[in-house]
Structure 1
């Protein structure tokens, strides 16, 4: 599955209730040390990951090196995990400052063995 297919898949409506606008996860993007950084905040599951998938796809088109600042992710499930793997396959991808929950998800599934995980955004961008 390509990153484009993942983005398209994220837009399928599941019939589940969406979070109120104030609780929706947010993303910010910026350039740092020659990498494009996507900073994610909030909870990511199959109903909320589409904007992040779009942001990572956009970042991969802008820069050969993409960093996800995962320090603000409060919840992640297999949907986010799948997005991380697909982004890794599409570009030079790094995960920076993952929260305990995100790091545990990556460790339990073995994804941490091949993703470039760094303690800070600066370290991820310059590595």
Structure 2
């Protein structure tokens, strides 16, 4: 995976981007809030340029606020967005905002990758 961007010390998240045959895998680690959203925005911007589905690995996300949700919802305008490993505060955020249905949710990355490959093979 490639770490996206050169972000200032103190940035509390890491965004890694990897192309798989069926999807761009974006791994987010850390706390995602308005002060450190740029790594995620940059990764999603790169991934959506190719019009290929995106799988966000959220298993390492320890905190997420509305800036995370906004970035992910913006990506949906261009490509299907899958979320894997959603738990804790992020799961609550999706539920409270009623946005669970906007995403394809998967329990883990392996399941998400299989589902994305299946969708790619069967077409839209």
Name the TM-score, length of structure 2 as normaliser.
Answer: 0.78
Q: CA RMSD in A?
A: 1.7
Could you say what secondary structure the match of 1:34 adopts? coil
- What are the superposed Cα offsets for residues 64-109 of structure 1, whole Å, 9 maximum, x if unpaired? 1111001111111111111111112221110111131111110111
Partner of 2:46: 58
State how 1:1-127 maps to structure 2 within 5 Å: 21=9, 24-62=12-50, 64-127=52-115
Higher relative contact order (CA 8 A, sep 6+): 1
Unaligned stretches of 5+ in structure 2?
1-7, 116-124
Query: Does the CA contact (< 8 Å) of 1:25 and 1:48 recur in 2?
Result: yes
Unaligned stretches of 5+ in structure 1?
1-19
Tell me how far 1:54 sits from its aligned partner. Answer: 0.6
Could you say what secondary structure the match of 2:26 adopts? strand
2-side partners of 1:50 and 1:29: how far apart?
14
Could you say what secondary structure the match of 2:81 adopts? strand
Name the TM-score, length of structure 1 as normaliser.
Answer: 0.77
2-side partners of 1:123 and 1:33: how far apart?
15
Aligned residues: 108
- What are the superposed Cα offsets for residues 13-55 of structure 1, whole Å, 9 maximum, x if unpaired? xxxxxxx725521011113352110000011111100111010
